[in-house]
Amino acid sequence: MRASRVAASYGARVAIAECGRFGGTCVNVGCIPKKLFAYAAHYREDFEVAKSFGWTLGEPRFDWQTLLANKDREIARLNGVYENLLATAGVAILRARATVVDPHTVEVAGRRYTARHILVATGSWPQVPSIPGRERAITSNEAFFLETLPRRALVVGGGYIALEFASIFNGLGVETTLAYRGPRLLRGFDPDLGGRIAEELRKKGIDVRLRANPAKLEEGIRVTYEDAAVQEVDLVLFATGRKPNTANLGLESAGVRLDADGTVAVNEYSASSVPSIHAIGDVTNRLNLTPVATAEGMSLAKTLFLGEPTRVDHVNVPTALFSDPNVATVGLAEDQARTQLGRIDVYQTAFRALKHTLGGHSERTFMKLVVDAASQRVVGAHMIGPGAGEIIQGVASAVRLGATKAQFDATIGIHPTAAEEFVTMRDKVPS
């Protein structure tokens, strides 16, 4: 959508083919409904915390159908907003699935269209492992439309979607298990984040099982793990990876090279092996984040229609998980920094937020800075705690601009906030 609107604003004649609802994964079965569900799930704890501040409440009662109806209404509103933005920009809307015929031809609903440039932005789709009984499981796609909440849920995976849905189910009163085949959650993130978030999830009541991988699902639903352990649940959600939507698009026959995992291979300007065919977003598997995809779309429009070759810098992109508590990060993890830079300094802190001091809640906020010892540049910032995404968004600007630890230290903090800890950490963690 972003590429279409921006290209049209530059004077290009643009058509967009969409067989579903506008907004892609993010608006329909991703970021937006997920964040709405995360808000809903957090209220249970907020009600508990309120008691320590003198508020007396009746017994809170949650209604799943109300949340679903309000979520659906908001998503439908956004679908309309996006379609209207495209129409207003002069983009021709083709409401059907498109396939590529050749480097300059696309077929939509039996009609062929020619174009100087073709853009593939078909995203990705969640995958379920090929185990016996896999048809009994759901993915995040279906989780947004459950008719009723389960009493017991198993979420399988150790990344963004798994942690977020485990937190959502748990917060809404579901007896929740989070199972991950690896030794630590959040593979690829800073090592401290995976270990510490597991501790916090357990405090919230989630049964976190590491080195646990379902081998089969039987009627009931009876889950048998690879180590022969057995568990009975009412719902299994697999959040174990996504596959790019490149099947049966005609890309290979048009000469487009796909990588082994099915992603479209592109250069730094999002061009595929066929010069007239480009690809952006999750279908390229560079960084599967909505803001990255929209940035790629804008850059491509500039490259093709303004004559300004523009590429997206995929370094120091901030990201957040809206688990409970939130996790957010920007820059290098500690292990990555040691490999790339050699000698580094690490600063970190963990504390109980002021909000939790009156009620005795044990949730702890964690913050960490990774610093290049030679230049003293802050090359990584990591956080677990309420509002982590909001805080790291600001810190990301400093990291991207190459701020040094001394410049962080010289910044006066806002007191009392959690964010001020990023500018008050003074003691290095022993190497």
Query: Alpha-carbon distance 356 to 325, whole Å?
Result: 13
Q: Which of 42, 314, 382, 415 is catalytic?
A: 415
Q: Confirm whether 415 is a catalytic residue.
A: yes
For residue 421, what is the DSSP state? G
Give the sheet arrangement for strand 222-225, strand by strand.
214-218, 222-225, 230-232
- How many residues comprise the chain? 431
- Residue 413 CA to chain centroid, in angstroms? 29
Query: Alpha-carbon distance 106 to 342, whole Å?
Result: 50
Query: Alpha-carbon distance 122 to 284, whole Å?
Result: 10
Q: Torsion angle, CA of 392/393/396/401, rounded to 10 degrees?
A: -150
Backbone torsions φ then ψ of 263, nearest 5 degrees: -75, 155
Query: Alpha-carbon distance 353 to 299, whole Å?
Result: 41
Chain position carrying tokens 């916090």: 200
Longest dimension (CA), the chain: 68
What's the token pair of residue 226? 């690879």
Query: Alpha-carbon distance 236 to 136, whole Å?
Result: 7
Q: Could you tell me which residues come within 8 angstroms of residue 88 by beta carbon, excluding any fewer than 6 positions away?
A: none
What's the token pair of residue 142? 């279906």
Are 315 and 286 a contacting pair, CB within 8 Å? Answer: no
For residue 274, what is the DSSP state? S
Query: Alpha-carbon distance 128 to 133, whole Å?
Result: 11
Q: Could you tell me which residues come within 8 angstroms of residue 228 by beta carbon, excluding any fewer than 6 positions away?
A: none
CB atoms within 10 A of CB 159: 17
Q: Which residues are catalytic?
A: 415
